[in-house]
């Protein structure tokens, strides 16, 4: 029964966000805020009904594993964004033609 309730809530939240966008019930930042609220509610429905994070008594190993996964995810995504942001800095002294030539010579070298 718990899975059915979770599935129903997930479908309702998904269709709710779909209809918000398709029917243009809001626009701009208001639409973005509404979609974030629906996304976080979807996250909590998934965590509670399908991953059973709220049911454990002690030692809460599922919550610890989820927290560790979240920390690793933040490190990977944050590091990737940081590297991508600083790629242009390393090539700022080149003209666009020099950048293109450098990228082509690096591509031809391979790994």
Please write the tens of the pLDDT for every residue from 50-71: 988 877 787 788 888 999 999 9
Do residue 89 and residue 109 come from a single domain?
A: yes
d(CA 35, CA 49): 21
Give me the count of residues in the chain: 111
Task: Identify whether the C-beta of residue 40 lies closer than 8 Å to the C-beta of residue 32.
Answer: no
**Reported pTM:** 0.63
What range does the domain containing 43 cover? 1-55
Residue where a domain terminates, one of 55, 77, 98: 55
d(CA 5, CA 78): 35
Do residue 93 and residue 82 come from a single domain?
A: yes
Do residue 51 and residue 100 come from a single domain?
A: no
The mean pLDDT of 82-86, rounded to a whole number, is: 85
Do residue 104 and residue 63 come from a single domain?
A: yes
Do residue 67 and residue 23 come from a single domain?
A: no
- Identify the residue with better confidence: 71 or 95: 71
């Amino acid at each position: 029964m718990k899975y059915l309730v979770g599935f129903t809530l997930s479908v309702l939240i998904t269709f709710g966000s779909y209809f918000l966008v398709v029917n243009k019930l809001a626009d701009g930042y208001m639409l973005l805020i509404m979609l974030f609220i629906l996304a976080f509610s979807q996250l909590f429905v998934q965590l509670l009904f399908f991953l059973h994070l709220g049911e454990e008594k002690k030692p809460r190993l599922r919550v610890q594993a989820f927290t560790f996964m979240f920390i690793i995810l933040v490190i990977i995504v944050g590091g990737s964004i940081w590297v991508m942001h600083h790629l242009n800095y390393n090539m700022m002294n080149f003209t666009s033609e020099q950048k293109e030539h450098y990228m082509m010579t690096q591509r031809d070298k391979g790994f």
